[in-house]
Amino acid sequence: MLQSLPRRGRALVALALATATAAFGLVASSQAPAQAAITPNQWYTITSAHSGLALDILDLSTEPGAELIQWHPTGAENQQFRFVDAGGGYYKIQARHSNLVLEVFEWNAEDGATIAQWTDLGGTNQQWSVTDHGDGTYSFTNRFSGKALDLWEWSTTAGDRISQYTYNGAAVQRWRLDEAGTSQTLANPIRENGADPWIEYWDGYYYMSTTTWESTVIMRRSTTLAGLKTASDTVVWDDAGVADRCCSHWAPEFHRIDGTWYLMYTSGFSQTDLDGQKLRVLRSTGDTPMGPYEFMGTPMPDRWNIDGSYLELNGKLYLLWSEWVGPDQSVWISEMANPWTVTGTKSVIAKPSHSWETVGSRVNEAPAVLQHDEDTFITFSASSCNTPDYKLGLLTYTGGDPISPSSWSKSSQPVFQQGNGVYGPAHNGFFTSPDGTEHWLVYHGNTSPDHGCGSTRQTRVQPFTFNPDGTPNFGSPVPNGVTLPAPSGE
């Protein structure tokens, strides 16, 4: 927060400087502003043509004097602004969350002066002309100083300052406007052909990957959860031509471990013969789930294993996966030396034991970790995915060595199953809302009981809560088309 003059003093300064500049022609306020194709009073997010980051009021502050910075687009109201007609072709730029307007702070006419929000006093340092460059970008010039809104020192770093600088038309002075909705909502499904989905929210973006069945791992991202519906797929890894892992890619998961993103998926040597399916691990050399990635290894190359996930518990890292034990496809666990190397004992912690786990086939697979307060849970998918009875069960950590089956208690009933026109809802993951206050479930499901394990499965999401005893309450699948509020903080 910047130190600032009292409001009354600032108002007097505004009047005095406006009079002086009009008399002596010290600034560009007498120049006619350029015309622009903007809609007054429409809320916009404003992103830099240079950095791709959005104008943002620091720390969501509603106080006068809070600085204008750039940050990853989140869609939050401290990144939404509207242009209010100030007369003469000029506009006030108002922040939605605070109702304050952007100004050249403390009437500083120098290059590099701070831009901040302040109470609307009508001063020329709070008025901006808008130049339309005709290529989808705009520049904003302050009436008092005659200088343009500028991304200081060509920064591409989130959190860096916005300033003013002598107009030059460069990319650091060009901005894109995207209309912001009055309210954010979404409805399922968020992806067709979206089996085995995984979503994480990281640094202003939702990232999502799903099964491809082919040689590739794909990723899409969006600043809003609803935006994942139309976001483009990016291939972040391709095993084409690698004989032992070329084919049948499924169940991608990406996890941030010790500050690095790791992506684990299942693949094998054939599109039709699935006897070669094994877990593979990639490591990102970038700082997002988009990669780029490097191949780290196959944790268990000498055995069939699928649907891998990570558990971090009591300062140690564990691998979770599914593998056969006689007629039972079961959930296994082993400690890891690093995210691609298994060490020590391999143990079964869940195998089909209830009737609801054996419909069509005896299956426990796709373990996913949920940690809340001091509790650790593992959901798993039960019964055959070819049936509408594919569903979720729950393991609860009861203490002790996680490798020991006695350290886990299995629910006697499924915790999520078919309903409301959604069949086979399972193979899930978890993520939190941008502000961290909400928990969300992502899973796949079919719209017909006759659909099975193929491309008909849709990616679906919904929020969930916790019961008084601390266990998760996932409720029932939300029907297709029902409107859900967007995650808190969008």
Catalytic-labelled residue, pool 67, 103, 150, 196: 196
385/236 Cα distance (integer angstroms): 27
Residue 96 phi, psi (nearest 5) = -70, -40
307 is catalytic: no
> What's the sign of the alpha-carbon dihedral 166, 167, 171, 173?
positive
DSSP secondary structure letters along 283-301? EESSSSTT--EEEEE-S-T
Residue with tokens 């070819």: 386
Task: Specify the amino acid at residue 360.
Answer: G
Nearest to 371 by CA among 463, 466, 459, 306: 466
Q: Return the H-helix or E-strand segment holding 9.
A: helix 7-24
- For 454, other C-beta atoms within 10 Å of its C-beta total 12
Catalytic residue among 56, 253, 365, 389: 365
Count of helix runs (H) and strand runs (E) in the chain: 1, 34
Neighbours of 243 (CB within 10 A): 9
Q: What one-character DSSP code corresponds to residue 260?
A: E
Please report the DSSP string for 151-217 in residue order. Answer: EGGG--STTPBEEEE-----GGG-EEEEEPPSS-EEES-SBSS--S-EEEEETTEEEEE---SSSEE
CB atoms within 10 A of CB 323: 18
365 is catalytic: yes
196 CB-near residues (< 8 Å, 6+ apart): 210, 211, 250, 251, 252, 307, 366, 427, 444
Count of CB atoms within 10 A of residue 233's CB?
Answer: 14
At 281 the three-state DSSP class reads strand
| Both tokens assigned to 46 | 């404003």
Q: What positions carry a catalytic annotation?
A: 196, 365
